[in-house]
């Protein structure tokens, strides 16, 4: 695997990049990749969601774009301060999507533990939770056993933006962030621990400029 970083990336551009990486992996021209990025404020609708889950498109003085996406799951929010981790993994030797999602969650659980945050999975849905509040949302898609999309960790996003949707089908908006938990973590430090745990859970990673 190699690591691709973007300070911020428009959501449609991210989809194009992921599709390109998937195609290159299938063609044998590129190794599996971890893409680390942030997006401008956007609501994305997964294959189990609908427009009805988008309650408002202007929240806290900002217009928020809406895009359908082919990943699993319902509606979620992406925005500045949220570290999005797209793991483009090759599962052709281990075709197990449930195991892949477990690894995505574990990558975040272990990373949060490095900063003293105890987190876990929850029966309410896929993702990572702290004290009954969701701190990371996951959704994946698979093409010929190459995965894309991934997991998004709330470091310091504007949590008010979640009020414009029914996040992951949950009407009570049970979301939190590392900042809300009292942690002001620079993105670079968060990336380092994410990469370390991704390295231990997936294939070894090699940095890319």
Residues designated as active site: 168
User: How far is it, in rounded angstroms, from Cα 68 to Cα 8?
Assistant: 20
């Amino acid at each position: 695997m190699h690591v691709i970083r973007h300070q911020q990336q428009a959501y449609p551009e991210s989809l194009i990049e992921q599709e390109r990486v998937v195609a290159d992996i299938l063609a044998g021209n590129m190794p599996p990749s971890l893409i680390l990025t942030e997006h401008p404020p956007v609501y994305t609708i997964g294959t189990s969601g609908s427009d009805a889950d988008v309650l408002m498109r202007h929240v806290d003085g900002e217009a928020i774009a809406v895009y359908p996406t082919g990943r699993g799951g319902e509606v979620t929010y992406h925005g500045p301060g949220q570290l999005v981790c797209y793991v483009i993994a090759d599962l052709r030797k281990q075709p197990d999507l449930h195991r892949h999602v477990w690894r995505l969650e574990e990558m975040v659980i272990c990373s949060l533990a490095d900063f003293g945050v105890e987190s876990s999975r929850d029966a309410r849905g896929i993702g990572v939770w702290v004290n009954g509040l969701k701190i990371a949302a996951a959704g994946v898609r698979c093409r010929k056993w190459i995965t894309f999309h991934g997991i998004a960790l709330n470091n310091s996003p504007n949590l008010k933006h979640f009020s414009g949707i029914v996040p992951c089908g949950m009407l009570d908006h049970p979301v939190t962030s590392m900042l809300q938990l009292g942690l002001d973590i620079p993105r670079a430090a968060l990336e380092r621990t994410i990469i370390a745990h991704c390295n231990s859970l997936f294939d070894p990673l090699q940095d890319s400029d």
